[in-house]
Structure formats: C-alpha cells, structure tokens
Structure 1
Amino acid sequence: MIVVRPEPAAAKERTAQAAKPSGTAAAKTQTNKNKDQQTASDDLNKKQSYLDAMEAAGFKNLTVDELIAMKIQGVTPEYVREIHELGFEPTPDELVGMRVQGITSEYVREMRAFDSHLNIDELIGMKVQGVTPEYIREFHDLGLQPSADDLIALKVQGVTPGYVKEMRATGLKPNTDELIGMKVQGITPEYVKSIEAAGFRDLDCDELIGAKVQGITPEFIEKARKHGFQNLTLDKLMALKHANIL
C-alpha cells in the first residue's frame, strides 16, 4: 500500500515563490511592453495625413470642400504627381473631373501622341464622349486630321470611319465639318444616290445638306416636274419648297 504524505507548508511556499517572476524579470517585461506601445505610437505619428501628402504634391491652401471632393473621388498624391509629370498643372476641380471620368496618365500619353497640345478640358470632353486612341487612328488612316473639338462632335453625332468610307464611295470627298453636317441632317448614301437618280448629279456636300434641310426628296422633284416646271435647278426646287407652293 502506497501512502501519499502531505507536502510540508514550507515546501509549498518555496514552490509558489519559484513560480512567480522575479522583480527584475517583471520589470523587464513591462519595459518591453512599453517600448512596443511607444513604437506603435511613433509609427502612427509618422504616417503622413492626406492633407500633408497633397501639400507635398504641390497643393497648398486647399479648401475643405476641395479636400473632401478630391478624397472622395480617389485623387491621390501619386495621381497628382503623375499628371504633373505630364506637364499639366490642373486645378482641384479639374483633377476631380479627370478622376471621375477615369482619365489615367496612360490615356493622356496615348491621346497626346496624336496631338501634343491637348488641354485638360479637351481630354475630359473626349473621355466623356468615348473618343479613344483607336477612333482617332482610324480617321488618320483615312487622311483626316480632326481637332479635339471635331473629334468630340464626330463621336457625338455618330460619325464612324465606316460612314466616311460609304460617303466617299458615292464620289463625295467630305471634310470633317461636312461629315458632321451630313450626319446631323441624316444624309445617307441611299439619299445621295436617290437624288442623283432624280437627275441631280455632281452635287457637293453643302448642296446636299441644303437640299436635305429643305426637305428635297426624289418624290418632291417628280411632283414639280409633273406640274410642267422646266429647267429645275436645286435652288429653284428649294425656293418652291420653302414657299410651300406645291
């Protein structure tokens, strides 16, 4: 039979004392804890605020509204520096507009490869309307050199490189303004061919635009001829239409 004898009280006390950290060890542990907290605090203090970062990027004296708008739209100091490196000095509002429209430094470089004098308003306008480097390149391949405003107008009116080719196939040689005017008035290759079939050949772009604006159709031309009018010119037809004679 095994007998378990109770441990003497003195032995228990020695064991408990051994389990406790010494005063030196406890102090060292607390010191290390304090150092860790101080390091974390120092790192937090060293972290640059958005305001400080924007000032370092060149924007001083920003208003509260400007700071909030820029922060909300994701205008970062890095983005500002990228745009500055491209030679632009945008205002806070322009930066917000550029960021909202998704204008990247890469987009700027690609667009300026076609026109090195593009300004921020033109870049924003083209991006809004979906003018891409590919769109510009297709017009250049057709021998056209539209300006930024022309490109925006072409895109807004839905003038495509395909439309240019179709109109050229009729024998016309429209420039950028004429292409925009014809598209606005709904002039199609079919309309050009129908007017030619009615006896009016070799009309230029401006004459075709004028005829379409005045509502000159093959049917109207035929109606005028049935009334016995002879030697009808386009100007006479437009005058008849304008005066509402027929």
Structure 2
Amino acid sequence: MRTCSVVLSALFVAGCASVLHADDQLQPLHGSCNIAPSTEGDRVQFKLERDSCEGGKHGCNMNDSDMPLSNFTGFTLADLKNDGTHVDAVIASEAGKLTCSGTVHDLTLNGDFTFVPDPAFVARMAKMGFTGYDSEKLEAYTLFHIETSWIQALQSAGVTGITTDNIIALRIFKVDPAYVKSMSDLGFPNLPAEKLIAFRIHGVNPEEVKQYRAMGYQPNADELIQMRIFKVTPEFIQHMQARGLNNLTIAKLVQIRIFKLAE
C-alpha cells in the first residue's frame, strides 16, 4: 500500500506540470507539512499540502508517504519526543531544497514548508536532452532524490526512451543500473524505460527467468510480463508437468490461468 500511495502522489505531482519558460515556472512553493513516526523505526510519515495550485484550488496537491529518515537533515526521531521544540527538517537534492519548519506537539512536527527549485539542475538536464520542468516536477524529483548521475548511469546501462516524466516512475519502481544489467545479461539489452517499469511493477526478476529457461522456455519481454500477471510461475509449470502436460506453450499456460482450467 505504501508504494501505491507514493506512486499516486508522485504521478499527480508530475501531471500538474505545465510547459513554461524556465524563468516563469521556477518559483518557490509553499504549504503546510507534518512529520510523524512510522511503524518502521528508520522511516517517518511525511505529509505535504500545497497552499494553492493552478486555478487557486486549496490543497489540490498533496504528498503523503512513508519516507526514510535518512532523507532528512536537521531532524531526528528524538526531536518528536520534545514537545514545543522548533525543528527545521530539510530534504536537499540536485533538483532543489525542501524545508519543513515547525513545532513538535504530540509526537508530530507540524509547520510550513518551502521548496526552492534549483535552476542549475534544469540547465544540466537540458544538456542531457530533458526539458519541460516546473517547480512541481522538481519538487517530486527532490522527494525521490533523482540525480543526474543516476540518470546518466541508466543511459550508460542501455535504457532507452527515458523522458522527463517517466524518470519518476523509474525511481519509484527501483529500476537501477544493476537491475538493468541483470536483464541485459539474460538477453534483454536496451529495453525501453516503460518496459523496465512494467517489469518492476509485475515482479519480473532474473532468477525466475533462469528457471523458465531451465524448463525449456524462452519467453520474450512481453511474455515475461504476461506470465507474471497471470501467475504462470515455475511452480505452476511444474504442477502442469506433474499432471502429464509437458509440452504446453507459454500462450497455453496463460490461457489455463485466465480460464482457471487447472482448478
């Protein structure tokens, strides 16, 4: 559920972006914020609500996510135990700096935030071929710690089709250079970003691909996604083989799952 919440928040932030001239769009953002303990000791519940968005709609942009404590400077969990303490919790990245300033009450930091975008980051991204940034999108980049070095590493690993918008999804679903290389080593080089995102969403992993191949199957990228969606796992294939069905194609295995013929 945490991933779904983060994904919806990030995609909404990205969707609010409009293509304007950099001088017009890179303005500081303001709103309310609060930070509270999470059920996991190394994370916190972090909420942001913008003062206003396009059209003046109050609260039209919100972020509510479970975030690693290590993302912040100037703030520790111990601060939440000191009622009345003023805290400046800062998230700084290449894309900008977000500061949540407030007072602790009942184990929660409540206050106001300011996000200051970094035009130098936009200039560096433009040189790499990525444009169309505004403050909202840069705020999302900051929350997910998207850095130019990470994007360059993905490009060097052979990822194609990276865009200003799908960079956020690549980060959310942990499409990192190591994962890209592991799939490339298995015969899936130069996959487009959207395909890799789909791989991660549906749980395509190198270990399972190796198991499929050991069983005589050579699924392509789309078939791997289908097999994960319809739970055509190595265990399911073995179950079918134990029933004497040894020569089923991937398409037949998927159909069996869709129409529940194995039940």
For 1:106-159, what per-residue CA distance to the aligned partner results, in whole angstroms no more than 9, with x for missing partners?
A: 011111221354211121111111110110110000001332111111111111
User: For residues 61 and 139 of structure 1, do their structure 2 counterparts lie closer, same or farther at Cα, with a shift above 3 Å needed?
Assistant: same
SS, match of residue 61 in structure 1: helix
CA contact (8 A) 1:74 1:99 kept: no
CA contact (8 A) 1:153 1:180 kept: yes
Structure 1 residue 129 corresponds to structure 2 residue 90:
no
User: For residues 176 and 61 of structure 1, do their structure 2 counterparts lie closer, same or farther at Cα, with a shift above 3 Å needed?
Assistant: same
CA contact (8 A) 1:73 1:99 kept: no
SS, match of residue 28 in structure 2: helix
Structure 1 residue 107 corresponds to structure 2 residue 150:
yes
Structure 1 residue 211 corresponds to structure 2 residue 256:
yes
How many angstroms apart in 2 are the aligned matches of 1:111 and 1:141? 15
SS, match of residue 174 in structure 1: coil
Counterpart of 2:229 in structure 1 is 184
Structure 1 residue 155 corresponds to structure 2 residue 197:
no
Counterpart of 1:68 in structure 2 is 29
Counterpart of 1:28 in structure 2 is none
| TM-score, L = length of structure 1 | 0.58
How many angstroms apart in 1 are the aligned matches of 2:258 and 2:241? 17
The one-letter code sitting in structure 2 at the alignment partner of 1:200 is L
Q: CA shift at 1:74, angstroms?
A: 4.7
Tell me how many residue pairs correspond in the alignment.
159
Q: For the pair shown, which has the larger CA radius of gyration, 1 or 2?
A: 1
Structure 1 residue 165 corresponds to structure 2 residue 210:
yes
Q: Flag the structure with higher strand content.
A: 2
SS, match of residue 145 in structure 2: coil
Counterpart of 1:59 in structure 2 is 22
Counterpart of 1:40 in structure 2 is none
CA contact (8 A) 2:159 2:180 kept: no
After TM superposition, the structure 1 = structure 2 runs for residues 137-152 of structure 1, keeping only pairs within 5 Å, are: 137-145=181-189, 146-152=191-197
For 1:64-108, what per-residue CA distance to the aligned partner results, in whole angstroms no more than 9, with x for missing partners?
A: xx4326663452233223222322223203333322221101011
User: What fraction of aligned residue pairs are identical, expressed as a percent?
Assistant: 26
User: For residues 62 and 148 of structure 1, do their structure 2 counterparts lie closer, same or farther at Cα, with a shift above 3 Å needed?
Assistant: closer
RMSD (CA atoms): 2.1
Counterpart of 1:79 in structure 2 is 121
User: For residues 148 and 156 of structure 1, do their structure 2 counterparts lie closer, same or farther at Cα, with a shift above 3 Å needed?
Assistant: same
Unaligned runs of 5+ in 2: 1-20, 31-95, 98-113
CA contact (8 A) 1:83 1:105 kept: yes
